[in-house]
Chain A
Amino acid sequence: MSWFDKLMPSRIRTQRRSRSVPEGLWVKCEACSAQLYRAELKRNLYVCPKCEHHLRIGARERLEMFLDANSEHEIAAKLEPQDPLRFRDSRRYRERLSTAQKETGETDALVVMAGTLKAIPLVAAAFEYRFIGGSMGSAVGERFVRGVQYCIEHRRPFVCFSASGGARMQEALFSLFQMSKTSAALAALGESGLPYVSVMTDPTMGGVSASIASLGDINVAEPRSLIGFAGPRVIQQTVGETLPEGFQRAELLLEKGALDMIVDRRKVRDEIASLLAKLTDRPEVS
């Protein structure tokens, strides 16, 4: 943000959201270092055309590219996070929240939309990783539950794209209990006979991995995503040796049986639409 933007009161700033991929005409692929033309990269859904690395993307972009154009409306958009513990470390939690809100244009780390996917009505949720590491606190948990409840009410499938470091420390036990709260919502969804597809993207760790992300009727991941419970550094400290190559990457998880499939971002619409059509007894989608 320029000095001029900073002078303006936040409510009149026009720029509503920034992107995970840094602004500019050219973008450098963090995996192969190739210089990529932004417009082309965007057309390619932020997958590097040279090495197929999947760049991290924001929640809103994710849902825009996943759902049919102009089909969507947001659920529980007006929910806002609170600071029940008046938490303060090196910074106040309230400050961290307002910084994250300004930087992302989101009120919290989960965006939930009702819309259609190839004309199949559904609800899709996506984590915004740039919002305090996509961490799950009370507002995220409540939004997730509202999304699931909408599905139960309107007989729709649910899809969630996770990108999260885990439970949000600043809401302490409230955050931990979002794991059981969101899982309880998924229990109800399952009892209603409605499918849930979990799409794990880079990274999906900790409390999010150990609740909603692992509970899909179908568990999908994007290529090369880091997925696990404990962080690699913590494990390395515990075991005291270097971690094996490819540890906690989607490909290894597939090999170990934790995933149904790894899906290239450019195929996500096709694959999930085909799955949902079969699970909800609809004709083949094109």
Chain B
Amino acid sequence: MDLKFLGFEQPIAELEARIDELKFVGDDSEVNVSEEIERLRRRSESLTRNIFSNLSAWQIAQLARHPQRPYTLDYIARCFTDFQELHGDRMYADDASIIACIARLQGQPVVVIGHQKGRDTRERVMRNYGMARPEGYRKALRLMRLAEKFRLPVITLIDTAGAYPGVGAEERGQSEAIARNLIAMAGLRTPIVSLVTGEGGSGGALAIGVADRVFMLQYSIYSVISPEGCASILWRSADKAEAAAEAMGITAERLLKLGLVDEVIAEPLGGAHRDPQATSEAVKNALLQALAELQPMPPDELIAARRKKLFGFGVYKEG
């Protein structure tokens, strides 16, 4: 698949296009162009390094939503083995925007739950663009209870623009489904590790994101509302999304500094989609490390520590 470049990557895209052209020439001419290609490659790399060393929050948001970014199923395929998907909330339907499965992480059984966006138009519609309805959150909760019962750790992968804003979703209790997950996860007697892989969009993200460890990929975002939504409410113009992204501090680096997430997992140069395998290995290592710390903890201790962490969120003045 050809690499897609974002607006701010255009200078890199131009260099890469020239490299491709030269490669084509190199294939059927006698001129030796390999040196030139090598020179351009080095330039492309240093240009990428340069551009990526100074990304704005809005640029990072675009990377988080990159159409080629690895999704939950890509991580499941690369980090886990013996994967079996489980379906349905037992009440209404199966929501394909959330994947739930039992798999093995380095041999050890775990429950994995994650939002799934689609790659092409057909899949995007089937997955509802990764925006879950109540049945998605209820499926997730059902699997978390299963994990608790059989003492399996829960790993959640977050990548959603938000919970789906639709008539049916509201009528079936979108709010209640999200709220129920929050209270259940605050007391789930098994370790929970969450990783924001792309977009951590509001309540729809948090509904599978209450955890003992919260990780973010370097170019993922996590926010209370999308930059566009925030801009249209506070600035009364969706064009101010860039300013809203900056103001809300949605990037992994900023949120780590604010103490809201535990760890940032570095991505390969140019973003996770440039090297999904390397990204997955980093993810796998972080998950293994977290589980090694959490699994020896007795459930009561685990929950006490989780609650202490939750109660610690917030900045206020004791007047």
B163, B186, B207: the one within 8 Å of A230 (CB): B163
With known contacts A85-B248, A214-B176, A247–B260 Cβ distance under 8 A: no
What 19 additional pairs, Cβ within 8 angstroms, besides A167-B224, A228-B174?
A80-B316, A80-B317, A82-B317, A138-B316, A142-B316, A173-B223, A174-B313, A175-B224, A180-B186, A181-B311, A181-B313, A188-B307, A207-B203, A212-B179, A227-B175, A231-B165, A234-B165, A244-B167, A247-B167
Nearest CB in chain B to that of A90: its residue: B235
* A209 engages B175 (CB within 8 Å): yes
21 contacts between A and B (CB under 8 A): A81-B317, A137-B314, A138-B316, A142-B316, A172-B223, A173-B258, A177-B314, A179-B206, A180-B210, A183-B183, A184-B186, A184-B210, A207-B224, A210-B163, A211-B179, A229-B163, A229-B170, A231-B165, A235-B170, A238-B165, A252-B171
Task: Give the number of chain A interface residues (Cβ < 8 Å).
Answer: 67
Docked Cα-Cα span, A233 to B134, in Å, equals 20
In the complex, B3 has a CB within 8 A of chain A: no
In the complex, A178 has a CB within 8 A of chain B: yes
Q: Which of B185, B186, B235 has the most CB of A within 10 A?
A: B186
In the complex, B173 has a CB within 8 A of chain A: yes
Q: Which residues of B contact A228 (CB under 8 A)?
A: 170, 174-175
Docked Cα-Cα span, A252 to B168, in Å, equals 12
Interface string of A75-118 (1 = CB under 8 A from B): 00011111011011110000000000000000100000000000
A95-153 contacts to B (CB < 8 Å):
107, 137-139, 141-142, 145
Q: Which of A138, A174, A191, A257 has the most CB of B within 10 A?
A: A174
Nearest CB in chain B to that of A205: its residue: B175
B229-251 contacts to A (CB < 8 Å):
229-230, 233-236, 240, 243-244, 247-250
* A210 engages B203 (CB within 8 Å): yes
CB distance from A186 to the nearest CB of B (A): 6
With known contacts A172-B224, A173-B255, A215–B180 Cβ distance under 8 A: yes
Q: Which residues of A contact B210 (CB under 8 A)?
A: 180, 183-184
CB distance from A4 to the nearest CB of B (A): 29
B111-165 contacts to A (CB < 8 Å):
163-165
Docked Cα-Cα span, A229 to B178, in Å, equals 9
Docked Cα-Cα span, A81 to B314, in Å, equals 10
Number of residue pairs A-B, CB distance < 8 angstroms: 205
Q: Which residues of B contact A107 (CB under 8 A)?
A: 319
In the complex, A176 has a CB within 8 A of chain B: yes
* B314 engages A181 (CB within 8 Å): yes
* B260 engages A141 (CB within 8 Å): no
Q: Which residues of B contact A82 (CB under 8 A)?
A: 315-317
Docked Cα-Cα span, A234 to B170, in Å, equals 12
What are the 5 closest A-B residue pairs judged by CB atoms, nearest first? A138-B314, A230-B165, A184-B186, A183-B182, A89-B234
Q: Which residues of A contact B233 (CB under 8 A)?
A: 169
CB distance from A280 to the nearest CB of B (A): 21
Nearest CB in chain B to that of A237: its residue: B165
Task: Give the number of chain B interface residues (Cβ < 8 Å).
Answer: 58
Q: Which of A89, A138, A212, A235 has the most CB of B within 10 A?
A: A89
Docked Cα-Cα span, A53 to B192, in Å, equals 46
In the complex, B310 has a CB within 8 A of chain A: yes
CB distance from B307 to the nearest CB of A (A): 5
* B176 engages A187 (CB within 8 Å): no
* A183 engages B165 (CB within 8 Å): no
* A187 engages B319 (CB within 8 Å): no
Interface string of B92-125 (1 = CB under 8 A from A): 0000000000000000000000000000000000
Interface string of B257-282 (1 = CB under 8 A from A): 01010000000000000000000000
A169, A184, A239: the one within 8 Å of B224 (CB): A169
Docked Cα-Cα span, A257 to B175, in Å, equals 13
Q: Which residues of A contact B166 (CB under 8 A)?
A: 230, 235, 238-239
Q: Which of A78, A172, A248, A252 has the most CB of B within 10 A?
A: A172
CB distance from B236 to the nearest CB of A (A): 8
* A179 engages B314 (CB within 8 Å): no
In the complex, B225 has a CB within 8 A of chain A: yes
In the complex, A32 has a CB within 8 A of chain B: no
In the complex, B88 has a CB within 8 A of chain A: no
In the complex, B202 has a CB within 8 A of chain A: yes
In the complex, B318 has a CB within 8 A of chain A: yes
In the complex, A65 has a CB within 8 A of chain B: no
CB distance from A272 to the nearest CB of B (A): 20
Q: Which residues of B contact A191 (CB under 8 A)?
A: 187
Docked Cα-Cα span, A211 to B137, in Å, equals 14
Docked Cα-Cα span, A256 to B258, in Å, equals 40
With known contacts A81-B316, A145-B311, A173-B258, A187–B183 Cβ distance under 8 A: yes
A155-212 contacts to B (CB < 8 Å):
167-181, 183-188, 190-191, 206-207, 209-212
Docked Cα-Cα span, A228 to B169, in Å, equals 10
In the complex, A29 has a CB within 8 A of chain B: no
